[in-house]
Amino acid sequence: MTKLSFIVPVYNVAQYLRKCVDSLLAQDYDDYEIILVDDGSTDNSPQICDEYVRENELESEGVRELGKPLISVLHQENRGLSAARNAGVRIARGEYICFVDSDDYWEPNVLGGLMTQIERDNLDVLRFDYKNVNEQYEEFHPNKDPKRDVDYSTEITDGETFLNERLGPACYAVMFILRRDMIIGDKPSSNPLILSSVNPLNNTLFTPGIYFEDTEWTPRMLLGAKRVASTSKVVYNYLWRTGSITLPTDPLKRKKVLEDKIRLIRCFKEQSKLVKDPIWFAWMTSSTVISILGMLAKLPVADRKPYLDDLKSLHLFPLSTKKEKMLTHKMKIILANISPALYCAIMSLRK
Protein backbone atom coordinates (compact mmCIF):
# COMPACT_ATOMS: atom_id res chain seq x y z
CA MET A 1 0.00 0.00 0.00
CA THR A 2 1.22 3.47 -0.87
CA LYS A 3 1.51 5.98 1.96
CA LEU A 4 -0.01 9.00 0.20
CA SER A 5 -2.19 9.64 -2.85
CA PHE A 6 -2.29 13.06 -4.48
CA ILE A 7 -5.64 13.46 -6.27
CA VAL A 8 -5.66 16.11 -8.99
CA PRO A 9 -8.94 16.86 -10.79
CA VAL A 10 -8.18 18.19 -14.28
CA TYR A 11 -10.51 20.25 -16.45
CA ASN A 12 -9.26 22.53 -19.25
CA VAL A 13 -6.10 23.65 -17.46
CA ALA A 14 -3.49 22.91 -20.11
CA GLN A 15 -1.56 26.13 -19.45
CA TYR A 16 -1.25 25.38 -15.72
CA LEU A 17 -1.14 21.58 -15.50
CA ARG A 18 2.57 20.96 -16.02
CA LYS A 19 3.54 23.41 -13.28
CA CYS A 20 1.15 21.62 -10.92
CA VAL A 21 2.34 18.08 -11.64
CA ASP A 22 6.02 19.06 -11.74
CA SER A 23 5.66 20.59 -8.29
CA LEU A 24 4.27 17.30 -6.95
CA LEU A 25 7.19 15.43 -8.50
CA ALA A 26 9.68 17.78 -6.81
CA GLN A 27 9.20 16.36 -3.30
CA ASP A 28 11.57 14.91 -0.72
CA TYR A 29 9.54 11.75 -0.19
CA ASP A 30 9.29 8.49 -2.11
CA ASP A 31 6.17 6.63 -1.05
CA TYR A 32 3.36 8.41 -2.90
CA GLU A 33 1.31 8.36 -6.08
CA ILE A 34 -0.29 11.03 -8.27
CA ILE A 35 -3.78 10.40 -9.64
CA LEU A 36 -4.87 12.73 -12.45
CA VAL A 37 -8.64 12.71 -13.00
CA ASP A 38 -9.39 14.18 -16.42
CA ASP A 39 -12.96 15.40 -16.05
CA GLY A 40 -13.90 15.57 -19.73
CA SER A 41 -11.42 18.28 -20.72
CA THR A 42 -11.80 19.72 -24.21
CA ASP A 43 -8.36 21.34 -24.43
CA ASN A 44 -4.95 19.66 -24.46
CA SER A 45 -5.15 18.57 -20.81
CA PRO A 46 -5.91 14.86 -21.54
CA GLN A 47 -2.83 14.57 -23.75
CA ILE A 48 -0.65 16.20 -21.09
CA CYS A 49 -1.96 13.74 -18.52
CA ASP A 50 -1.15 10.82 -20.80
CA GLU A 51 2.35 12.19 -21.40
CA TYR A 52 3.08 12.18 -17.67
CA VAL A 53 1.82 8.61 -17.36
CA ARG A 54 4.07 7.45 -20.20
CA GLU A 55 7.10 9.32 -18.88
CA ASN A 56 6.66 7.96 -15.35
CA GLU A 57 5.29 4.52 -16.05
CA LEU A 58 6.33 1.53 -13.98
CA GLU A 59 9.34 -0.47 -14.98
CA SER A 60 9.10 -4.17 -15.70
CA GLU A 61 7.63 -6.52 -13.10
CA GLY A 62 5.83 -3.72 -11.29
CA VAL A 63 8.92 -2.06 -9.83
CA ARG A 64 8.93 1.69 -10.25
CA GLU A 65 12.05 3.64 -10.96
CA LEU A 66 13.78 4.86 -7.79
CA GLY A 67 12.56 8.33 -6.78
CA LYS A 68 9.63 8.36 -9.18
CA PRO A 69 6.07 8.16 -7.86
CA LEU A 70 3.46 6.24 -9.77
CA ILE A 71 1.36 8.55 -11.97
CA SER A 72 -1.99 7.33 -13.25
CA VAL A 73 -4.80 9.03 -15.14
CA LEU A 74 -8.52 8.43 -15.12
CA HIS A 75 -10.44 9.87 -18.08
CA GLN A 76 -14.16 10.42 -17.50
CA GLU A 77 -17.06 12.48 -18.84
CA ASN A 78 -17.41 15.93 -17.36
CA ARG A 79 -19.14 15.59 -14.00
CA GLY A 80 -17.65 18.43 -11.97
CA LEU A 81 -14.99 18.91 -9.32
CA SER A 82 -16.69 16.92 -6.55
CA ALA A 83 -17.29 13.91 -8.77
CA ALA A 84 -13.69 14.03 -10.03
CA ARG A 85 -12.31 14.07 -6.50
CA ASN A 86 -14.61 11.22 -5.49
CA ALA A 87 -13.50 9.17 -8.50
CA GLY A 88 -9.87 9.69 -7.50
CA VAL A 89 -10.54 8.63 -3.90
CA ARG A 90 -12.17 5.40 -5.07
CA ILE A 91 -9.05 4.26 -6.95
CA ALA A 92 -6.47 5.71 -4.55
CA ARG A 93 -4.01 3.25 -3.00
CA GLY A 94 -2.69 5.64 -0.39
CA GLU A 95 -3.22 5.36 3.33
CA TYR A 96 -3.50 9.16 3.24
CA ILE A 97 -5.14 11.47 0.72
CA CYS A 98 -4.25 14.98 -0.40
CA PHE A 99 -6.27 16.97 -2.94
CA VAL A 100 -4.57 19.41 -5.30
CA ASP A 101 -6.32 21.70 -7.76
CA SER A 102 -4.68 21.46 -11.16
CA ASP A 103 -4.04 25.18 -11.57
CA ASP A 104 -2.29 25.40 -8.19
CA TYR A 105 1.12 24.07 -7.18
CA TRP A 106 3.18 22.94 -4.19
CA GLU A 107 6.42 24.26 -2.80
CA PRO A 108 9.35 21.87 -3.47
CA ASN A 109 10.66 19.42 -0.88
CA VAL A 110 7.96 19.90 1.76
CA LEU A 111 6.15 16.55 1.73
CA GLY A 112 8.76 14.71 3.78
CA GLY A 113 8.34 17.03 6.75
CA LEU A 114 4.56 16.80 6.59
CA MET A 115 4.57 13.01 6.54
CA THR A 116 7.05 12.94 9.42
CA GLN A 117 4.67 15.05 11.51
CA ILE A 118 1.70 12.85 10.56
CA GLU A 119 3.46 9.62 11.49
CA ARG A 120 5.13 11.01 14.61
CA ASP A 121 1.84 12.31 16.03
CA ASN A 122 -0.39 9.57 14.59
CA LEU A 123 -2.66 12.20 13.00
CA ASP A 124 -5.97 11.69 11.27
CA VAL A 125 -5.73 15.13 9.66
CA LEU A 126 -2.92 17.63 9.10
CA ARG A 127 -3.67 21.16 7.86
CA PHE A 128 -0.86 23.24 6.32
CA ASP A 129 -0.42 26.89 5.35
CA TYR A 130 -0.61 28.43 1.90
CA LYS A 131 -0.05 31.64 0.01
CA ASN A 132 -2.09 33.33 -2.68
CA VAL A 133 -0.52 33.98 -6.08
CA ASN A 134 -1.73 35.81 -9.16
CA GLU A 135 -1.48 34.58 -12.74
CA GLN A 136 2.12 35.82 -12.91
CA TYR A 137 2.80 33.55 -9.88
CA GLU A 138 3.49 36.55 -7.66
CA GLU A 139 2.34 36.45 -4.06
CA PHE A 140 -0.44 38.86 -3.15
CA HIS A 141 -2.91 39.43 -0.32
CA PRO A 142 -6.58 39.72 -1.31
CA ASN A 143 -8.76 41.85 0.95
CA LYS A 144 -11.00 38.93 1.89
CA ASP A 145 -8.24 36.47 2.67
CA PRO A 146 -9.64 34.36 5.57
CA LYS A 147 -6.22 33.52 7.02
CA ARG A 148 -6.60 36.23 9.64
CA ASP A 149 -8.86 33.89 11.65
CA VAL A 150 -6.80 30.70 11.24
CA ASP A 151 -4.79 29.12 14.06
CA TYR A 152 -1.87 27.01 12.79
CA SER A 153 -1.03 25.47 16.18
CA THR A 154 0.76 22.10 16.08
CA GLU A 155 -1.09 21.01 19.23
CA ILE A 156 -3.17 17.88 18.65
CA THR A 157 -6.89 18.13 19.26
CA ASP A 158 -10.14 16.48 18.23
CA GLY A 159 -12.03 17.53 15.12
CA GLU A 160 -14.80 19.51 16.82
CA THR A 161 -12.34 21.56 18.88
CA PHE A 162 -10.28 22.18 15.75
CA LEU A 163 -13.40 23.32 13.91
CA ASN A 164 -14.43 25.79 16.61
CA GLU A 165 -11.05 27.12 17.69
CA ARG A 166 -8.60 26.82 14.78
CA LEU A 167 -10.19 26.37 11.36
CA GLY A 168 -11.53 29.85 10.74
CA PRO A 169 -13.46 30.29 7.47
CA ALA A 170 -10.64 28.76 5.39
CA CYS A 171 -12.50 25.65 4.23
CA TYR A 172 -10.16 24.57 1.47
CA ALA A 173 -9.98 20.80 0.94
CA VAL A 174 -6.61 21.28 -0.77
CA MET A 175 -5.01 22.46 2.50
CA PHE A 176 -5.36 19.08 4.25
CA ILE A 177 -3.72 15.68 4.32
CA LEU A 178 -6.09 13.10 5.82
CA ARG A 179 -6.50 9.38 6.19
CA ARG A 180 -8.27 7.79 3.23
CA ASP A 181 -10.56 5.74 5.46
CA MET A 182 -12.03 8.98 6.81
CA ILE A 183 -13.41 9.69 3.35
CA ILE A 184 -14.47 6.30 2.11
CA GLY A 185 -14.61 2.91 3.80
CA ASP A 186 -15.43 -0.64 2.86
CA LYS A 187 -18.46 -0.68 5.15
CA PRO A 188 -21.16 1.85 6.06
CA SER A 189 -20.19 4.04 9.00
CA SER A 190 -22.24 3.81 12.17
CA ASN A 191 -21.15 7.31 13.18
CA PRO A 192 -23.81 9.84 12.14
CA LEU A 193 -21.22 12.61 12.20
CA ILE A 194 -19.51 11.25 9.10
CA LEU A 195 -22.43 10.14 6.99
CA SER A 196 -22.72 11.90 3.66
CA SER A 197 -26.03 13.29 2.54
CA VAL A 198 -25.22 11.88 -0.89
CA ASN A 199 -24.65 8.23 -0.04
CA PRO A 200 -24.27 6.91 3.51
CA LEU A 201 -22.02 4.13 2.19
CA ASN A 202 -19.45 6.69 1.10
CA ASN A 203 -18.89 8.52 4.39
CA THR A 204 -17.41 11.94 3.62
CA LEU A 205 -17.20 11.98 -0.14
CA PHE A 206 -17.85 15.35 -1.76
CA THR A 207 -21.38 16.40 -2.64
CA PRO A 208 -21.66 16.61 -6.45
CA GLY A 209 -23.18 19.48 -8.33
CA ILE A 210 -22.74 22.35 -5.89
CA TYR A 211 -20.53 25.39 -5.57
CA PHE A 212 -18.70 25.75 -2.24
CA GLU A 213 -18.27 21.99 -2.02
CA ASP A 214 -15.20 22.46 0.18
CA THR A 215 -17.12 24.50 2.75
CA GLU A 216 -19.85 21.86 2.96
CA TRP A 217 -17.32 19.00 3.12
CA THR A 218 -14.73 20.32 5.57
CA PRO A 219 -16.81 20.25 8.78
CA ARG A 220 -18.19 16.81 7.90
CA MET A 221 -14.65 15.55 7.48
CA LEU A 222 -13.31 17.16 10.66
CA LEU A 223 -16.13 15.90 12.86
CA GLY A 224 -15.02 12.36 12.10
CA ALA A 225 -11.43 13.02 13.23
CA LYS A 226 -9.93 12.35 16.65
CA ARG A 227 -6.39 13.67 16.12
CA VAL A 228 -6.00 16.89 14.14
CA ALA A 229 -3.12 19.37 14.02
CA SER A 230 -1.63 22.06 11.80
CA THR A 231 1.70 23.28 10.60
CA SER A 232 2.53 26.88 9.75
CA LYS A 233 4.80 25.68 6.93
CA VAL A 234 3.75 27.27 3.64
CA VAL A 235 3.15 24.31 1.35
CA TYR A 236 0.50 25.31 -1.16
CA ASN A 237 0.30 28.06 -3.79
CA TYR A 238 -3.32 29.02 -4.42
CA LEU A 239 -3.80 30.62 -7.84
CA TRP A 240 -6.38 33.39 -8.17
CA ARG A 241 -7.66 33.34 -11.73
CA THR A 242 -10.02 35.72 -13.47
CA GLY A 243 -13.65 34.61 -13.70
CA SER A 244 -14.00 33.39 -10.10
CA ILE A 245 -17.41 31.90 -9.26
CA THR A 246 -17.51 34.05 -6.14
CA LEU A 247 -18.10 37.13 -8.30
CA PRO A 248 -20.64 35.89 -10.89
CA THR A 249 -21.91 38.21 -13.59
CA ASP A 250 -23.81 35.66 -15.64
CA PRO A 251 -27.46 35.62 -14.42
CA LEU A 252 -27.76 31.82 -14.44
CA LYS A 253 -24.49 31.37 -12.58
CA ARG A 254 -25.49 34.06 -10.09
CA LYS A 255 -28.79 32.26 -9.48
CA LYS A 256 -26.93 28.98 -8.94
CA VAL A 257 -24.47 30.61 -6.53
CA LEU A 258 -27.30 32.15 -4.49
CA GLU A 259 -29.21 28.88 -4.35
CA ASP A 260 -26.12 26.95 -3.30
CA LYS A 261 -25.26 29.48 -0.58
CA ILE A 262 -28.73 28.96 0.87
CA ARG A 263 -28.27 25.21 0.51
CA LEU A 264 -24.99 25.57 2.39
CA ILE A 265 -26.81 27.30 5.26
CA ARG A 266 -29.26 24.39 5.42
CA CYS A 267 -26.26 22.03 5.69
CA PHE A 268 -24.85 24.12 8.53
CA LYS A 269 -28.16 23.88 10.39
CA GLU A 270 -28.20 20.10 10.10
CA GLN A 271 -24.53 19.61 10.96
CA SER A 272 -24.76 21.95 13.95
CA LYS A 273 -27.21 19.53 15.59
CA LEU A 274 -24.42 16.97 15.84
CA VAL A 275 -21.98 19.00 17.94
CA LYS A 276 -21.86 20.13 21.56
CA ASP A 277 -20.95 23.71 20.66
CA PRO A 278 -22.24 25.02 17.29
CA ILE A 279 -20.30 28.28 17.45
CA TRP A 280 -18.41 27.72 14.17
CA PHE A 281 -21.62 26.90 12.32
CA ALA A 282 -23.32 30.02 13.73
CA TRP A 283 -20.35 32.16 12.64
CA MET A 284 -20.27 30.71 9.14
CA THR A 285 -24.04 31.05 8.84
CA SER A 286 -23.78 34.76 9.67
CA SER A 287 -20.97 35.22 7.17
CA THR A 288 -22.86 33.35 4.44
CA VAL A 289 -26.08 35.30 5.00
CA ILE A 290 -24.20 38.60 4.75
CA SER A 291 -22.63 37.37 1.52
CA ILE A 292 -26.07 36.48 0.14
CA LEU A 293 -27.50 39.86 1.11
CA GLY A 294 -24.57 41.59 -0.56
CA MET A 295 -25.36 39.75 -3.80
CA LEU A 296 -29.08 40.52 -3.47
CA ALA A 297 -28.30 44.22 -3.10
CA LYS A 298 -27.18 44.19 -6.73
CA LEU A 299 -30.53 42.81 -7.92
CA PRO A 300 -33.82 44.64 -8.54
CA VAL A 301 -36.04 44.77 -5.46
CA ALA A 302 -38.59 42.35 -6.93
CA ASP A 303 -35.87 39.76 -7.61
CA ARG A 304 -34.66 39.87 -4.02
CA LYS A 305 -37.94 38.83 -2.42
CA PRO A 306 -37.88 35.05 -3.09
CA TYR A 307 -34.41 34.75 -1.58
CA LEU A 308 -35.27 36.93 1.41
CA ASP A 309 -38.38 34.81 2.01
CA ASP A 310 -36.25 31.67 1.81
CA LEU A 311 -33.83 33.03 4.40
CA LYS A 312 -36.69 34.07 6.66
CA SER A 313 -38.18 30.57 6.49
CA LEU A 314 -34.94 29.12 7.89
CA HIS A 315 -35.34 31.08 11.15
CA LEU A 316 -31.75 32.32 11.06
CA PHE A 317 -32.25 35.71 12.66
CA PRO A 318 -30.84 37.12 14.82
CA LEU A 319 -27.49 36.19 13.33
CA SER A 320 -24.62 35.58 15.72
CA THR A 321 -21.75 38.07 16.11
CA LYS A 322 -19.93 35.97 18.71
CA LYS A 323 -16.78 35.00 16.78
CA GLU A 324 -16.68 38.00 14.47
CA LYS A 325 -13.65 40.19 15.29
CA MET A 326 -13.95 42.92 12.67
CA LEU A 327 -16.14 45.87 13.70
CA THR A 328 -17.36 46.54 10.16
CA HIS A 329 -18.54 42.94 9.83
CA LYS A 330 -20.28 43.10 13.19
CA MET A 331 -22.10 46.25 12.14
CA LYS A 332 -23.28 44.55 8.96
CA ILE A 333 -24.66 41.63 10.95
CA ILE A 334 -26.43 43.97 13.38
CA LEU A 335 -28.02 45.85 10.48
CA ALA A 336 -29.11 42.59 8.84
CA ASN A 337 -30.69 41.53 12.13
CA ILE A 338 -32.75 44.71 12.17
CA SER A 339 -34.01 44.07 8.64
CA PRO A 340 -32.48 42.02 5.80
CA ALA A 341 -34.50 44.03 3.27
CA LEU A 342 -33.23 47.29 4.75
CA TYR A 343 -29.67 45.95 4.61
CA CYS A 344 -30.06 45.24 0.89
CA ALA A 345 -31.53 48.67 0.27
CA ILE A 346 -28.67 50.45 2.05
CA MET A 347 -26.02 48.34 0.33
CA SER A 348 -27.70 49.00 -3.00
CA LEU A 349 -27.45 52.76 -2.42
CA ARG A 350 -23.79 52.45 -1.48
CA LYS A 351 -23.01 50.53 -4.68
pLDDT (tens digit per residue) in 4-59: 999 999 999 999 999 999 999 999 999 999 999 999 999 999 999 999 999 887 54
Residue 171 pLDDT > 70: yes
> What mean pLDDT is predicted for residues 278-305?
96
Q: Of 4, 69, 19, 11, give the one whose Cα is nearest residue 37.
A: 11
Residue 118 pLDDT > 60: yes
> What mean pLDDT is predicted for residues 85-96?
96
Whether a cis peptide bond, with omega within 30° of 0, leads into 318 is yes
> What mean pLDDT is predicted for residues 295-319?
95
- Using alpha carbons, list the distances in angstroms from residue 343 to 242, 291, 309, 329: 29, 12, 14, 13
> What mean pLDDT is predicted for residues 250-256?
88
| Terminal alpha carbon distance of the chain | 56
Q: The pTM is what?
A: 0.89
* Cβ proximity of 115 and 219 under 8 Å: no
Q: Which of 103-117, 125-139, 185-199 has the highest mean pLDDT?
A: 103-117
Chain mean pLDDT for the chain: 89
